[in-house]
Amino acid sequence: MGTSTILVTWDFTVLSEYALEHAVRIAKMVNNDIQLIHILDKKSDHRQIMDKMLPEIDKSEKKYGIRPGIILKEGSIFTTISEVANNIQANLVVMGTHGIHGIQKITGSWALKVIVGSKVPFLVVQSPPSNAYLKKIVFPIDFQNESKEKLPWIIYLAQYYRSEILVFRSNLQDEGLKTKVNQNLLFLKKALDAKGINYSIHTSQSKASFAQASMDFAREQNADLIAIMTTKNIGFTDYVFGAVEQQIIANPYKIPVMCVNPREDIYKLGGFSK
């Protein structure tokens, strides 16, 4: 295990199956292995859960030609998944989640609480992959400096999948913020041009929030992925009242979302390791 590992959260639901499908699609392209992680509570029977996991491993090998490893860890989903991902230096965590609807509204914030604090990016999915590869990746960009931190991961995926990057910029009236958006855009264009990545730039014309406009744009473009940053120092009120990220994570169009947490050493990274 280590820097060639994709970690998949596993709780024996159909959402776990979806997460595994997405992980397989990426793992085959970048020659990574897959580990299924199941979080045990204190009352769990380790042997019983392992016996339940083994048929899932066999099924994956038969269906996808990939035999995942198994990680059983006692703890809380809100901290243990990220801790394991960080400790084994996984490339990516793939997690299934419900969208925000009815009594399940809390699940959007649950997903965000699992993700925040991880040094490893999360891919959050609500449905199976719609295409064999990532054709279009929506890259929302605003005035925040952390927007740049998504770049190594997006370049990596775009190079392997020959994806088109759809840069979606916020349309702000404040001159100071507009300048910051343009600076981020210039940084982005230089990096994408240097790597020969196919991209196009689109400016939001929507009166809706930038989060909603980004989701709507991704839907209009039939995008396969939205890449976002999580908020630095996210607090309790963000979980209760709905941070922008959890709106996008649980988007009603069920578009997969890659979440990258702000970190100081991102520029030392080159994306996934082979």
| Residue that finishes a domain, picked among 66, 81, 96 | 96
d(CA 178, CA 170): 9
Q: Identify the sign of the CA torsion 175, 142, 245, 219.
A: positive
* Contact status, residue 155 vs residue 192, Cβ threshold 8 Å: yes
| Per-residue pLDDT reduced to its tens digit, 162-197 | 899 999 998 888 898 889 889 989 999 999 999 999
Residues 160 and 76 in one domain: no
CATH number of the domain to which 164 belongs: 3.40.50.620
Write down the pTM of the prediction: 0.88
Structural domain boundaries enclosing 46: 5-96
Backbone angles phi, psi at 24, to 5 degrees: -60, -45
Instruction: Place 263 in a pLDDT band, splitting at 50, 70 and 90.
Output: low
| 205 or 262, higher pLDDT | 205
Residues 140 and 88 placed together within one structural domain of the fold: no
Residue 242 sits at φ, ψ, to 5 deg, of 95, 90
**Range of weakest confidence among 1-5, 33-37, 58-62, 172-176:** 1-5
Assign 217 a pLDDT band (cuts: 50, 70, 90). Answer: very high
Q: Give the end of a domain, one of 96, 127, 160.
A: 96
pLDDT of residue 97: 86
Q: Please check the confidence at residue 111 and state whether its pLDDT lies above 90.
A: no
**In-domain check, residue 212:** yes
